[in-house]
Amino acid sequence: MTTRLQSEARRESLLLNMGPFHPAMHGTIRIMLEIEGERVRNAEVEIGFLHRGFEKTCENKTWFNLLPYTDRLNYVSPLLNNLGYALAVEKLFGVEAPARARLIRVLLGELSRIADHLTCVAAMAMECGAFTVFLYNIKAREFIWDVIEATTGARMTTSYIRIGGVRADLHPGWREATARAVAETRKVLKDVRGLLDANPIFLKRTRDIAVISPERALAYGWTGPCLRSTGIAYDVRRAHPYLDYDDFEFEIPTGERGDNFDRYLVRMREMEQSLRIIEQAASKLGASPPAVMAASVEPAAAIEASRSRRERRPIRLSPNLEGSEKAVSEDILAAGPWAAPPKEDVYSSIEGLIRHFQFFMKDHGIRPPRGEVYGAVEGGNGEVGFYLVSDGSDTPARVHLRAPCFHIVAALEELIVGLYLADIIPTFGSLNMIGGELDR
Amino acid sequence: MSRNASAFNSVLGWARKFSLFHYPFVTACCGMEYMSAACAHFDLDRFGAGWTRFSPRQADLLIVVGTVTEKLTPVLQTVYRQMVDPKWVIAFGACAVSGGIYDNYAVLQGIDTVIPVDVYIPGGPPRPETVLDGLIKLQEKIQKQDQDWRWRKRRS
Ligand code: SF4
């Protein structure tokens, strides 16, 4: 098969194939190049090596069962994908998560965003030779994942943000863990900026390389840090506020030149803003304590009691029944028919069990009204949008993901033409291509 | 096997198991956990597998991390063929082991359908501790196996 590049190439130039498994490019993508000496004359990008059939698979799952697949879209910040999907479905169903759940979503979402940016900067710097930055950033990410893991039970693929709320309350001791993660991240950010900001090698490879104008960026449909690096302050959290982002104080850092360095810098500065949001969310969460827990009944005694009669006092059954305390479930899960029942109800009452089956058995699932919705959140790479079509059955008729990466990578060809071969690596790193999201 | 040969065999096994140069074939989400496992907190290096070679020709151990799709299958096979003997393969994560949650038209249902696999590490994604455990299992296997060396090709 002749590719476009092959047919357009001059006879005397050299064709070079980067990828689909190039070591300096995290992710599977193939860049075909026509080069003249060290310069790229023409480029063609081939994607789709990680096409896992996300959208088609979702059409065969119920609204609730497809949540784990959303984890694996932008797998560096799974919580933000969960959130995007949950918000879109909530819009379709007309439910809203309780206040505490919204705050928890903000808190964990921002942690997730930091993890995303840390990984991006780590990979980008490593590919330019700054291995120290990689080690530092992954270290900070480890502290963030400690918080996420203790609350959600998984380090990466969490499936924690559910339709109508979140799965469980924050873990005991989250406050100290979060404070630790914030402190460690601050320290790492300071170190990394000290290492890179004025580093001549890093600057040579990023400053004024792969510049994109705001108009071109908009024309390609860029969003997120990459768009903001060109000076356009578009952030879904501000432009179309969701959750309680209105009540938080944060800035939207922008760049000026739209080059590799600006994309790096915007990410670094955004992490600082995310840390601010986390601190605010933590203090707000402190102000709204969960419903008072019952004086603790030991699990064995509680099971005994719930067998003999209907327990009126809130029962403390976790952690072995995996879930939040019953008393807090109304704080973190919306009431009404659209939100899945909390696990404690499922295990301790027949009504709860029936409702559970109604949700999770195929062909018995909850049926949303007919219609279509689009819900978007600010993900790690930009606007993560879910377009859902419901035909009134328990499975979606169509799920479409508006992946920010797809639009960003679309511009890659244009960006690298005219650059040196070695410039492709930091350019590609700064765009933060994530296969799961790009190819779905 | 003579006594000398078997002693040499185990010395060689010992040397090989502690000097694994690995090539990460990272395609998807599991790669994030691979990064964690390789970095300071968990540190694969403690077990003699710290040296990541980004060229299959210099590597002994192929770690297939993440989902391998049908489109990527020929690439994986090529990479495997480019490695020189002796070589080992670890399937990292549910997707590499069996296709994981993606049971559909696009995804290869386990890399062992196209290349031989020595150690399977389950989990989606596996925790770094699991990865370390898998590595130790591989080292045990290498120690025990019948080594081949220059003047003695393995009987197969
Ligand atoms: S096993 Fe899970 S985490 Fe790993 S690549 Fe597959 S879907 Fe991603």
Higher-confidence residue of A289 and A416: namely: A416
Give the gap in angstroms from C-alpha A74 to the nearest C-alpha of chain B.
Answer: 8
Interface check for B81 against chain A (CB to CB < 8 A): the answer is no
A297: pLDDT strictly greater than 70 = no
Higher-confidence residue of A126 and A326: namely: A126
Interface check for A142 against chain B (CB to CB < 8 A): the answer is yes
pLDDT in the model for residue B10:
83
CA distance B42 to A184: 17
Q: Which of A34-48, A288-302, A323-337, A410-424 has the lowest mean pLDDT?
A: A288-302
pLDDT in the model for residue A295:
40
Closest CA to B52 of A143, A134, A205: A134
Instruction: Give whole-number Cα distances, A100 to A18, A329, A361, B6, B39, in Å.
Output: 48, 10, 29, 66, 35
B94 lines ligand 1 (CB under 6 A): yes
User: What is the side-by-side strand order in the sheet with A398-402?
Assistant: A371-378, A383-390, A398-402
Q: Find the A148 Cα to ligand 1 centroid distance in Å.
A: 18
Closest CA to A76 of A118, A104, A47: A118
- Give the rounded percent of residues in chain B with a pLDDT score beyond 70: 93
Question: Measured from the CA of A436, which atom of ligand 1 is nearest?
Answer: 8
A23 and B55: CB-CB below 8 Å? yes
Give the gap in angstroms from C-alpha B138 to the nearest C-alpha of chain A.
Answer: 24
Higher-confidence residue of A174 and A386: namely: A386
pLDDT in the model for residue A290:
52
Q: Which of A157-171, A230-244, A331-345, A398-412 has the lowest mean pLDDT?
A: A331-345
A vs B, Cβ pairs < 8 A, gives 88
pLDDT in the model for residue A320:
40
- For ligand 1, atom 8, name the residue with the nearest CA: B29
pLDDT in the model for residue A362:
67
A72 lines ligand 1 (CB under 6 A): yes
| Whether A29 contacts A416, CB under 8 Å | no
Higher-confidence residue of B150 and B88: namely: B88
What mean pLDDT is predicted for residues A232-237?
87
What mean pLDDT is predicted for residues A223-245?
87
Give the residue, out of B26, B29, B120, with the most ligand 1 atoms within 8 A of its beta carbon, to mutate for a pocket test: B29
Which structure tokens are listed for A218? 């908009």
Q: What are the start-end ranges of the H helices in B40-127?
A: 73-82, 94-98
Which of A21, A26, A53 lies at the smallest CB-CB distance from B31? Answer: A26
A244: pLDDT strictly greater than 60 = yes
pLDDT in the model for residue B42:
85
B59: pLDDT strictly greater than 70 = yes
Which of A23, A28, A135 lies at the smallest CB-CB distance from B72? Answer: A28
Domains of chain A: 2-46 (no CATH), 54-288+367-439 (1.10.645.10), 299-356 (no CATH)
pLDDT interval class at A298 (50, 70, 90): low
A316: pLDDT strictly greater than 70 = no
pLDDT in tens, A151-195: 888 888 888 888 878 877 777 778 888 888 899 899 999 999 888
Mean pLDDT of chain B: 84
A212: pLDDT strictly greater than 50 = yes
pLDDT in the model for residue A288:
54
Burial class (CB in 10 A: 0-12, 13-18, 19+), A287: exposed
Question: Measured from the CA of B30, which atom of ligand 1 is nearest?
Answer: 4
Which of A21, A72, A75 lies at the smallest CB-CB distance from B75? Answer: A21
pLDDT in the model for residue B125:
87
Question: Measured from the CA of B97, which atom of ligand 1 is nearest?
Answer: 1
Q: Which residue has the tokens 């004024």?
A: A208
pLDDT in the model for residue B152:
60
Q: Which of A46-55, A287-296, A304-313, B127-136 has the lowest mean pLDDT?
A: A287-296
A53 and B104: CB-CB below 8 Å? yes
Closest CA to A114 of A159, A147, A163: A147
Q: Find the A83 Cα to ligand 1 centroid distance in Å.
A: 19
What mean pLDDT is predicted for residues B64-79?
88
pTM score, whole prediction: 0.84
Interface check for A129 against chain B (CB to CB < 8 A): the answer is no
In chain A, residues with a C-beta closer than 8 Å to the C-beta of B28 are 50, 52, 72, 75, 435-436
A23 and B54: CB-CB below 8 Å? yes
What mean pLDDT is predicted for residues B137-152?
79
What mean pLDDT is predicted for residues B45-69?
83
pLDDT in the model for residue A366:
74
- For ligand 1, atom 6, name the residue with the nearest CA: B95
**For chain B, what are the domain ranges?**
19-144
Top residue of B32, B78, B131 to mutate, by most chain A CBs within 10 Å, is B32
Interface check for A68 against chain B (CB to CB < 8 A): the answer is yes
Please determine, looking at this structure, whether the domain spanning B19-144 carries the CATH number 3.40.50.12280.
yes
A65 lines ligand 1 (CB under 6 A): no
Interface check for B71 against chain A (CB to CB < 8 A): the answer is yes
pLDDT in the model for residue A293:
38
- Give the rounded percent of residues in chain A with a pLDDT score beyond 90: 4
pLDDT in tens, A267-278: 999 999 999 899
A324: pLDDT strictly greater than 60 = no
- Phi and psi at B11, nearest 5°, equal -65, -40
pLDDT in the model for residue A292:
38
| Whether B128 contacts B63, CB under 8 Å | no
| Whether A111 contacts A392, CB under 8 Å | no
What mean pLDDT is predicted for residues B56-81?
88
pLDDT in the model for residue B23:
86
pLDDT in the model for residue B154:
52
Top residue of A47, A116, A152, A157 to mutate, by most chain B CBs within 10 Å, is A157
What mean pLDDT is predicted for residues B7-31?
84
Which of B32, B75, B107 lies at the smallest CB-CB distance from A156? Answer: B32
CA distance A156 to A139: 15
pLDDT interval class at A114 (50, 70, 90): very high
Interface check for B77 against chain A (CB to CB < 8 A): the answer is no
A349 lines ligand 1 (CB under 6 A): no
Which of A57, A75, A139 lies at the smallest CB-CB distance from B32? Answer: A75
